[in-house]
Amino acid sequence: MLEVQLDAREDDWELSRGQRVRAMTYNGTVPGPTIEGRVGDTLVVNFTNHLREPTTIHWHGLRVPAAMDGSEAVQTAVPPGGRFRYQFQLTDAGTFWYHPHTDEPVQMERGLYGAIVVRGNSEPTVDHEQTLVLDDVRLDTTGQIAPPGGLLEQHSGREGNTRLVNGRSDLTLRMRAGELQRWHVINAASARYFRLALPGHSFVVLGTDGGFLPQSYRTAEVLLTPGDRVDLLVEATGAPSSTVALQTLPYDRGHGAGTTEIEDVLRVQYTAEPPLPRRTLPQIVNPIARIDTQNAVHRTITLDEVDDVAHQRMVFRINGEAHPNVTPVIARIGETQVWEIVNASGMDHPFHLHGFFFQVLDRNGEPESRVSWEDTVNIPGNARVRIAFRPEGRPGMWMFHCHILEHVANGMMGHLQVIAADAVEPPQRSPAPASPVQAAPHQHTHVHG
Ligand code: C2O
Ligand code: CU
């Protein structure tokens, strides 16, 4: 058994030497403590909320029982001063993370997140491992984290003015020439897409959200949407004492959102030591069978946005509904689900499913060449992506949503109700009480794109 104490509390967060902001932390640090376990371990987290507001913890990517998932569908938020004991088994090797599922644009922006690394039986041998949690924050003129902003930020999501790795804007990674490093990378940012490149180096991708790929592959750059993880090998091919910056390349998220410049994320400093003899790359072999979709249930999940002019806000919807007024999608245990996720807006949305890994079948009709297990996939503006998954058990209420925190907060979240194979289908609620958009008197609603 692996037992961890996590306390959410306000504390100072040092972004760089001498630069502190008021933050929300787990155990006083940002990120919170990295939880490291092995497949088969039972993880117990004794959680205490010392914040002045309610919160929960969600275990992003872990296949936990529904009651442990930390979303508002399954748990009343832990009140200030309250406690909750999370307990579940670690079933999959990979890189995961934890964060609240309440008031995400504030609580996560202010520092509530941490990494989880679960190890299996065939971990590659490397010289060094790093866990890199990417983030950004928006500092206001007083140097503090800005409260949620206006319409533009609600629409595009917050891309901060300060980029962070492991809670620092000035992180330096040491590397010895010739060595082999393994990086567990997590994107914990509100809305920023990180498109990582390390000039003069390449990455070998070992795994993604749900663990190792069937075969690793080499690439010059890797894109992480909010919520995404990637497991990389980095060969230290630089010269002793040289430095190189890990960069994020421009990425256009549509509707004028995203980045247009190359920005530095952290500094890699080679030590002066003589180069190590180069290692042969460890080979990962992790066969993944493609999900058989022959008898699948097919659904369309449409993402769109409407401009609620009367209330001066954007509403982001799934199948025409805005959270919390949503009709659950029903799925039976053992039944294969094929979801065509249609982005009817001109802006990218990183789609995340709780509780179950899926495989990407195709993007705009182009079959996906690699098989992998994912819990987060980018749906580019005006694109469609088909995914397949099969609930293997764990009945209950799950969430699926865009991982841009301002979009979740403005409605882009749905419920998935997993029921027993032979259960009577629960009666569908009559369509939700009209969402704020429809209810608005003198509305001037229009759909973009
Ligand atoms: Cu990190 Cu509901 O997700
Ligand atoms: Cu979105």
Confidence of residue 429 (pLDDT cuts 50, 70, 90): low
Decide whether any atom of ligand 1 lies within 6 Å of the 415 Cβ: no
Nearest CA to ligand 1 atom 3: 60
Average of per-residue pLDDT values in the chain: 94
Q: Which residue has the higher pLDDT, 307 or 240?
A: 240
Res 281: pLDDT: 94
Rounded distance from Cα 89 to ligand 1 centre (Å)? 19
Gap between the Cα atoms of 343 and 348, Å rounded: 8
Rounded distance from Cα 132 to ligand 1 centre (Å)? 18
- β-pairing, 413-419 vs 376-379, is unpaired
Region 354-383 average pLDDT: 98
Decide whether any atom of ligand 1 lies within 6 Å of the 401 Cβ: yes
Gap between the Cα atoms of 114 and 259, Å rounded: 25
Gap between the Cα atoms of 371 and 292, Å rounded: 12
Per-residue pLDDT reduced to its tens digit, 19-32: 999 999 999 999 99
First to last CA, the chain: 51
Decide whether any atom of ligand 1 lies within 6 Å of the 352 Cβ: yes
Q: Which ligand is nearest to the CA of 257?
A: 2
Q: Which ligand is nearest to the CA of 226?
A: 1
Res 278: pLDDT: 87
Rounded distance from Cα 318 to ligand 2 centre (Å)? 10
Confidence of residue 285 (pLDDT cuts 50, 70, 90): confident
Asked whether the predicted pLDDT for residue 92 surpasses 70, the reply is yes
Region 248-266 average pLDDT: 94
Res 446: pLDDT: 41
Res 438: pLDDT: 41
Asked whether the predicted pLDDT for residue 404 surpasses 80, the reply is yes
DSSP letter at 310 equals G
Q: For 148, left (φ over 0), alpha (ψ -120 to 50), or beta?
A: beta
Asked whether the predicted pLDDT for residue 448 surpasses 60, the reply is no
Per-residue pLDDT reduced to its tens digit, 127-177: 999 999 999 999 999 999 999 998 889 999 999 999 999 999 999 999 999
Nearest CA to ligand 1 atom 1: 60
Asked whether the predicted pLDDT for residue 444 surpasses 60, the reply is no
Which long-range contacts does 143-147 make (Cβ < 8 Å, 24+ apart)? 143/19, 143/21, 144/21, 144/22, 145/21, 145/22, 145/23, 145/109, 145/110, 147/106
Res 170: pLDDT: 96
Region 417-421 average pLDDT: 96
Q: Which residue has the higher pLDDT, 429 or 359?
A: 359
Asked whether the predicted pLDDT for residue 232 surpasses 70, the reply is yes
Instruction: Decide: 412 and 269 in contact? Cβ < 8 Å.
Output: no
Confidence of residue 217 (pLDDT cuts 50, 70, 90): very high
Decide whether any atom of ligand 1 lies within 6 Å of the 229 Cβ: no
Confidence of residue 397 (pLDDT cuts 50, 70, 90): very high
Neighbours of 1 (CB within 10 A): 8
pTM, entire model: 0.94
Asked whether the predicted pLDDT for residue 443 surpasses 80, the reply is no
Decide whether any atom of ligand 1 lies within 6 Å of the 101 Cβ: yes
Residue 401 Cα: closest atom of ligand 1: 2
Gap between the Cα atoms of 296 and 336, Å rounded: 5
Ion ligand 2: residues, Cβ under 5 Å:
349, 402, 404, 407
Decide whether any atom of ligand 1 lies within 6 Å of the 58 Cβ: yes
Rounded distance from Cα 383 to ligand 1 centre (Å)? 22
